[in-house]
Amino acid sequence: MTPEEAHRIGMETATRMWGKDYEVVVTTHLNTENIHNHFVVNSVSLRTGRKFENHISDHYRLREISDEICRNLGKSVLENATFYGGDKGAYWVKKCDKLTHREILKRDVEHCLSLSRSPEDLITRLKSMGYEIRNGYDGKNISVIAPGWQRAVRLSSIGYTREVLNEWLAENRQDIYFYQWRNANPVRKATPLLYLEIEFRKAQRMDGLTLIFAIFIELLRLCTGSVEQQKNRPLSPMLREEVRKLDQNIDDYKLLCTENIGTAEELSLFSEGLQQKITELEAQRNSVRNHIRRASPDDEPALKEQAKEITKQITPLRSQLKSAQRIADRMEPIRQLLDQERQMEQKERNRIRERSYER
């Protein structure tokens, strides 16, 4: 298909789909191997004033029109092709710069496999990282689930079929350096959150929000660095994923310490005070800018400099306000992650205790 033919199809499709009610821009892209059209639609109707809502039925109608035009021109069409590939939920997780459950599991499975020589080793290490085995190695499909996940994930669905696992484990058994590597990384038995809570209470250095963020940051720090330094990392896969926001959490923690904020009420009052200061400074700057419009050439430079100085005062206040708002939004999710980790660690501690009694 030539670019001219593609553009003609796009124009006719847009005319028949939206031409009577909406304004549309059609662009034909040649930057990939497949020539394709993009439609930019003014969603407010020029005739009725109503908004175009873009339902799935509109997608089907658009396809019907495009396919009909292509057939009339002797072009082939994709019969019964799906509109959306993959998981839409996973798409939005990636859009928010997060890892999906499958990506978290894939990363942890690779780590466990690198230290396992048998199926039993693999299962033990997955359990030590907070996963529950729903269907064991002897089952038809090995599947695992972590707290907070709605359903289990089959290892075969992320590329680890039984054949792949067996091949990897066999290679480990043949590697002359494997046992040295494995012995340097024993299965973790520590409970970092329970330990940190005891230590921070002993120190009595802080409480409330400051304590929550301090413990949370210490847990995230355990997840950083090389694999050898991660023997005491948290059990919860979802908490380990938060290490991507470590720098951001540290900035928020510094604000809590600097401003001596310990409760949600104090945080709210601090945010209100910041917003009031910002509003007052913005009003001053607007007043200066209004004077600039009527100022003489001699006075204008000084007024512009005055406006810049006010902006310099506003910028750090806005940064603090953004951090305070982020803390307010993150308080409850962080508490939930810590509660989840605490329950998992208590369960792990009880399991180890029961095993010691059996012996």
Residues 161, 143 contacting (CB under 8 angstroms)? no
Distance, in Å, from the CA atom of 296 to the CA atom of 63, rounded to the nearest integer, reads: 62
pLDDT at position 80 is 62
Q: Which two tokens stand for residue 29?
A: 């892209």
Residues of the chain with pLDDT under 50: 88-89, 91-96, 226-229
Verdict on whether the full-model pTM lies above 0.85: no
Count other C-beta atoms under 10 Å from residue 49's C-beta: 8
- Each domain of the chain, given as residue ranges in start order, spans 3-72, 95-183, 192-358
pLDDT at position 209 is 83
Residues 191, 341 contacting (CB under 8 angstroms)? no
Q: Which of 272, 247, 280, 246 is nearest to 324 (CA)?
A: 272
pLDDT at position 184 is 62
The packing angle between helices 192-203 and 208-221, to 10°, is 140
User: Could you read off the pLDDT of 19-62 as tens digits, one per residue?
Assistant: 888 888 998 888 777 788 888 988 888 888 888 877 767 877 88
The Cβ-side half-sphere exposure at 276, using a 13 Å CA radius, reads 6
Alpha-carbon distances of 43 from 14, 18, 23, 40, 52, rounded to whole Å: 13, 10, 8, 9, 5
pLDDT at position 92 is 42
pLDDT at position 166 is 87
Distance, in Å, from the CA atom of 128 to the CA atom of 185, rounded to the nearest integer, reads: 12
User: Could you read off the pLDDT of 91-112 as tens digits, one per residue?
Assistant: 444 444 556 778 778 888 888 8
pLDDT at position 284 is 94
Q: Which residues contact 157 (CB under 8 A, 6 or more apart)?
A: 102
DSSP 192-245: HHHHHHHHHHHHT---HHHHHHHHHHHHHHTTSS-GGG-TT--S-HHHHHGGGG
pLDDT at position 346 is 82
User: Could you read off the pLDDT of 265-297 as tens digits, one per residue?
Assistant: 999 999 999 999 999 999 999 999 999 988 888
